[in-house]
A and B are shown apart, each in its own frame.
Chain A
Amino acid sequence: MRKTVIFAGEAGQGIDRTAVLFGKMLAACGKHCFIYRDYSSLIRGGHNFSTVTFSDMPVRSHDEEADIIVALNVKAYEKHESQLKRKGEVVSSQPIGKFTPVIVPFEKGNSSNNALLGFLAARVGIPFSAGSRVLRKDFGAKAENIIKIFKEGYSSFGGDPEKMTIGEPKAVFDGNEAVAKGAIDAGLHAAFYYPMTPATGVFTKLESVKTENNIIVEQTEDEIAAANATIGASYAGKTVMTGSSGGGLALMSEAVSFAGMAELPVVFYAAQRMGPSTGVPTYTSQGDIRFVLNIGPGEFPRMVLIPGDIQEAYEMTRQAFYFSRKYRMPVFILSDKHIAESYASVGQKLSSTVSKNDFLKKVSGKNYKSYEITKDGISVGAVPGGIGCVRATSYEHDEFGYTTEDPEKVKSMNEKRMRKETTLKAELGRKGGISIYGKGNKAFVFSGSPKGAVLDALANLKGWSAIQINRLAPFPEKEFTDAIKGKEFLTVENNSTALLAGVIRQACAIKESGSILRYDGRPFTPDYIVEKIKKDRR
């Protein structure tokens, strides 16, 4: 059975952390879960909530309707009252409707949420030992006091707990953590950043583990400095990344073009939020698809990978490093708030078979050419420090990297650079660019975070299949053209102008029959998609 718990309260009351702990307890018992976080751009007060949807079966999205609402205050409950199912329950320390308030032991410095969590854990059948293990792992030295409160809440549940079958334990990650882990596993040496929601999480995660992983993580004075420092570190022979969200990425655009021209491997993490401009900072969107495909002046090859869930966020990060190092070009991991900051249980360990080769000459020989003209367009990079000079330049150049404006040399270097794209397309072949789900004659076409809602909606719709676009550049036009043959399709997108549909039309000259668009900053849920389809049918 798929169940949903909404945790609601003010910013600063620990809503997010409590929901994640609950998710971790469920995952420790072998449940699948998905946690959506909804918060405003403020530090204290306001209204925050997190939605935890869980089941014995795979869960890829959250639901709007709740079986249980955990309300830290009455106002929080009122905000979600309409979402409570007919037989739903409320867990709160305050009297709300017919529900008995949970007794919260008063202890200085503790809010009520750990007691409520205890009560809830008992209610859904999480064994006390599983709950306390999660708390011990999360809180370390502070855990004992918290477990005490948790226990009081747990014991105060007098009713019949749900029967829980315990399965294989799972881990819980958010997308940003998965990207950070992917980067470290790929051999990351350095990351430079300037904080911007929702990209920041990758870099705070890297900061928190930099010592044991021997990586350099630096916050710079602005995004321009972050991107250029990353380019400098790449030139110096290191595996590097930077990243931001819309506005910050806009500031990096000249550096993106610099990395393209200088042919330096740089991974850019681009986490979309709702724009334009400052937009709706803590809410999701897929409004930057065209922007990332075109960011930076001039023509140069780039790659844009777009993960649809946590596992893919990890795997595509590994791929991003591989391709950027091999082809010496900027590669984007295009994420969004819903991927970046939602948590999900992950069954397998996050690992990948993608090569960790850095494709670098460790020493630059006497006649080393930084931009050697080759058949496949790839000039092998070298670590500066040998007898030969390593050059990197934003100016058009000859094979040694010396400046040139000679028309023949300008043309041949341009062609060499662009040839990398042909070589890359040949390596990519006809697999991996898309994923196909189901066999129906009508298809949802999406890329990125709508994946969870689309796949969970498929179960409730007859005759529908889905195609996921995993890569926006180079666009998998042959794979997509083959897969879509004979099918009518709707694109499912978190934007208002069907940007993905436009990209498909441009790449494949195939037109969608319509689009399901959501542009209120909120992610798709399965019900949202099913409702749209049913409404159209009526």
Chain B
Amino acid sequence: MKDVNTSQENTWCPGCLNFVTLAMLKKALVDLSAEGRIDIDRTVLVADIGCGAKIYDYINVNAVYSLHGRVIPVAAGISAVRPDLTVIGFAGDGGTYDEGMNHLIHSAKKNVNMTMIVGDNRVFALTKGQPTSTSDEGSKKPLSPLVLAADAGATFVARTSAYHAEHMLDIIKKAIVHEGFSLVDILQPCLIFKNDADEIRGSVKILAGDDVDKNLEILRKETEKMPVGIFVDDRKIGGKSELADKKTKVANRKNRS
């Protein structure tokens, strides 16, 4: 199997929580590949721009370094024409919930077969600290993109935290193998421009697995400050059967070639 590491110099700040995500994403790819659940040669990572997007240089897989806010349409285009590829998008809250919110809602609605991983530090970091739509500052109330995505029709919606690596690994793996639109939000601080590490560590509440409807209610009603877990895991609605159909076709095509 191909080595997922690259020799590119990592320029994230010392101690940045992106390192945890990078390690867990790489591990997820290696594990899933070893389990035969994905083909690493047929995996594409689509990055936004900004700090998080540098992940493009740090994982040795097919990759696109796209435009700010446009990870989802680029990934959706790949997914539409190549159902044999595993398509993973990676962006921050600024790219996904501000600049690219339109695409998030519509791709959730269309149940595009892709995984969207969002490093949600609730700040525009690389431009030096402006608020995003998930920040407390700058508006009456931050947006709740996970609830919006769930209501729009995303078939897998989950949140994890950069301080809970094992939980993150589990969620990322589930999201990648899920057929349909998967959204994974990763709570993390920006150590330089929004260092709420203590708050995240103190407030994160891991919701027990199975009852996703109950979990979604907790998220919606904000009965927990920072609930993490799976909020939607729907294998029935959306284009599931169509997607399954596509996958079979791809499998057949692969067998032929």
Contacts and interface: CB of A to CB of B under 8 A. Distances in A.
A403 B85 contact: no
B81 A190 contact: yes
Interface string A236-258: 11101000000000000011001
A391 B6 CA distance: 13
Given A225-B106, A387-B2, A389-B60, A232 B67 contact: no
A395 B49 contact: yes
B131 interface: no
A403 B66 CA distance: 12
B84 interface: yes
Interface residues of A, number: 42
Question: Interface SS of chain A: helix, strand, loop or mixed?
Answer: mixed
Contact of B62 (A226, A254, A390, A397): A390
Interface string A195-229: 00000000000000000000010101110111011
B67 A228 contact: yes
Contacts of B62: 384-385, 389-391
Interface in A354-401: 384-387, 389-395, 397, 401
Interface stretch (B13-21, B72-80, B164-172, B173-181): B72-80
Interface in B89-139: 102-103, 105-106
B165 to A, nearest CB: 26
A221, A228, A237, most chain B CB atoms within 10 A: A228
A183 B193 CA distance: 49
What band does the interface of chain B fall in when counting residues whose beta carbon is under 8 Å from A?
35 or more
Contacts of B65: 391-395, 397, 401, 403
B255 interface: no
A229 B66 contact: no
Contacts, number: 127
A230 B66 CA distance: 12
Given A225-B106, A390-B62, A395-B49, A384 B67 contact: no
A394 B73 CA distance: 15
A258 B67 contact: yes
Contact of B41 (A190, A233, A386, A395): A386
A232 B2 contact: no
Interface of B: 2, 6, 8, 41-42, 44, 46, 49, 54, 56-57, 60-67, 70, 72-82, 84-85, 102-103, 105-106
15 contacts: A190-B80, A216-B80, A221-B105, A224-B70, A225-B106, A226-B73, A236-B77, A236-B78, A237-B82, A238-B82, A240-B81, A385-B84, A389-B60, A393-B64, A394-B49
Given A236-B44, A391-B62, 6 more contacts: A228-B66, A228-B74, A231-B74, A262-B64, A384-B85, A391-B64
Interface of A: 189-190, 192, 216, 218, 220-222, 224-226, 228-238, 240, 254-255, 258, 262, 384-387, 389-395, 397, 401-403
Q: Sorted from nearest, which 5 A-B pairs have the closest CB atoms?
A: A232-B77, A229-B77, A393-B65, A228-B73, A221-B106
